[in-house]
């Protein structure tokens, strides 16, 4: 698990002999200095001691639900016969991360399934010839049984509308019990109650769990980030992940990166989770497009610092759409797409 933990360090008290103890009692510090009793000093030390105790006893410092991330993920191969179609990782009991096998589609996207008391939300539906709906509905049944919870309604939304994130849409659209939100700015704006797209944030209430929705067009005109208040996880889709960040609308991406940075500065971010890994574990080095098996890939999670770094990079070239290579991702301008398709 790549999470910070506060550890209180206490120095072992020095040992003093009888003479030293008598000198301290008389007002002398071992080493020759005279201790000058002072009410203010006593008050300060007492207050400091209480503050240190409170700091040391705080379990996590942020009040977030903890979770774990794996040291590595399955990608695709080297032998596809032994690779399941989906890898499912339970970050915790109510936050699942799914990865589609590269043996199905080389994009190997990550999907997110988050449970509340009344609803569960699935972000994205996969790439290529994939059977997402039966698998996800099975996970909902297993979750209800495991947690001894009544079944919840599924809401399907999207990080954006490119083909490698919407392949399973028709499967969910055929299910009347599923609330399906199309990957368009208008549909997301309505579902999240966003008053002014893309400037204003919105929310999705799952029942005892609220997701903030931040519009971040630039990679796609309906790109959004989701922030889970329970875990502090920020889902950034294809707009920020370890790899190549393709820019269709440069001006919009500049504004979105700034909007996301403002959000990150005012919220507790545990992990930044995108929808792909294209970067190797070596800084600046990506896997070639179409790679199925990635045995030495970068970890999935980025950090709050990377959100700020993205904004700084865009600000440095905002008047000139240039490629910017950074250790963990690359800003890659490209011509706008005319129709939804894979990255």
CB 237 within 8 A of CB 214: no
- What are the two backbone dihedrals, phi and then psi, of residue 339, each rounded to the nearest 5 degrees? -135, 155
Give CA–CA dist 324/335, Å, rounded. 16
Give CA–CA dist 90/146, Å, rounded. 12
Question: Reduced to 3 states, what is the DSSP secondary structure of residue 133?
Answer: helix
Q: Is the peptide bond before 198 cis (omega within 30 degrees of 0)?
A: yes
pLDDT at 320: 86
Contacts of 189 (CB under 8 A, 6+ apart): 197, 202, 215
pLDDT at 261: 98
> Residue 231 corresponds to which tokens in the numbers above?
């875990």
E strands in 93-138: 95-100, 110-115, 119-123
pLDDT at 75: 96
CB 96 within 8 A of CB 114: yes
- Tally of CB atoms within 10 A around 336: 10
Give CA–CA dist 157/177, Å, rounded. 15
CB 87 within 8 A of CB 70: no
- All residue ranges of the chain with pLDDT < 50 are 1-57, 339-340, 342-343
Q: What are the pLDDT digits (tens) for 206-216?
A: 999 999 999 99
pLDDT at 61: 67
> 319: burial class by Cβ within 10 Å (0-12, 13-18, 19+)?
exposed
Helices marked H in the chain: 18-25, 39-57, 132-147, 169-173, 185-192, 250-265, 304-316
pLDDT at 52: 42
Give CA–CA dist 275/160, Å, rounded. 10
Q: Smallest Cα–Cα separation from 97: which of 137, 134, 64, 139?
A: 139
Inter-helix orientation angle 250-265/304-316, to 10°? 140
Give CA–CA dist 334/249, Å, rounded. 8
The single residue listed with the structure tokens 């020759």 is: 32
List Cα–Cα distances, 152 to 10, 116, 123, 181, in angstroms.
48, 8, 16, 17
What are the structural domains of the chain? 23-56 (no CATH), 80-333 (3.60.15.10)
Q: What are the pLDDT digits (tens) for 97-125?
A: 999 999 999 999 999 999 999 999 999 99
**β-pairing, 179-180 with 153-157?**
parallel
Give CA–CA dist 269/102, Å, rounded. 29
Give CA–CA dist 259/40, Å, rounded. 46
Give CA–CA dist 330/333, Å, rounded. 10
Give CA–CA dist 171/143, Å, rounded. 21
pLDDT at 110: 99
pLDDT at 54: 42
């Amino acid at each position: 698990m790549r999470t910070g933990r506060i550890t209180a360090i206490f120095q072992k008290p020095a040992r003093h002999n009888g003479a030293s103890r008598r000198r301290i009692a008389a007002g002398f510090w071992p080493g020759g200095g005279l201790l000058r009793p002072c009410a203010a000093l006593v008050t300060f030390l007492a207050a400091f001691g209480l503050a240190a105790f409170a700091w040391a006893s705080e379990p996590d410092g942020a009040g977030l639900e903890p979770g774990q991330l794996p040291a590595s993920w399955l990608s695709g191969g080297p032998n596809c016969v032994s690779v399941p179609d989906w890898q499912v990782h339970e970050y915790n009991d109510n936050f699942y991360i799914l990865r589609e096998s590269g043996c199905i589609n080389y994009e190997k996207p990550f999907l997110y399934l988050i449970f509340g008391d009344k609803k569960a939300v699935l972000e994205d539906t996969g790439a290529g010839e994939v059977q997402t709906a039966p698998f996800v509905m099975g996970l909902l049944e297993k979750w209800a049984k495991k947690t001894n919870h009544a079944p919840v309604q599924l809401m399907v939304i999207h990080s954006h509308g490119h083909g490698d994130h919407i392949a399973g849409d028709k499967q969910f659209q055929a299910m009347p019990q599923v609330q399906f939100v199309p990957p368009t700015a208008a549909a997301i704006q309505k579902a999240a109650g966003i008053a002014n797209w893309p400037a204003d944030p919105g929310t999705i209430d799952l029942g005892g769990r609220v997701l903030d929705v931040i519009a971040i067009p630039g990679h796609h005109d309906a790109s959004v980030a989701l922030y889970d208040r329970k875990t502090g996880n920020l889902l950034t889709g294809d707009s920020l992940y370890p790899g190549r960040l393709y820019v269709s609308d440069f001006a919009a991406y500049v504004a979105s990166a700034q909007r996301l940075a403002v959000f990150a500065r005012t919220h507790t971010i545990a992990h930044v989770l995108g929808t792909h890994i294209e970067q190797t574990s070596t800084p600046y080095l990506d896997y070639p497009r179409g790679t199925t098996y990635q045995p030495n890939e970068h970890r999935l999670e980025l950090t709050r610092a990377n959100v700020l770094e993205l904004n700084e990079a865009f600000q440095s070239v905002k008047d000139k759409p240039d490629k910017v290579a950074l250790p963990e991702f690359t800003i890659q301008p490209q011509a706008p797409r005319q129709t939804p398709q894979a990255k």
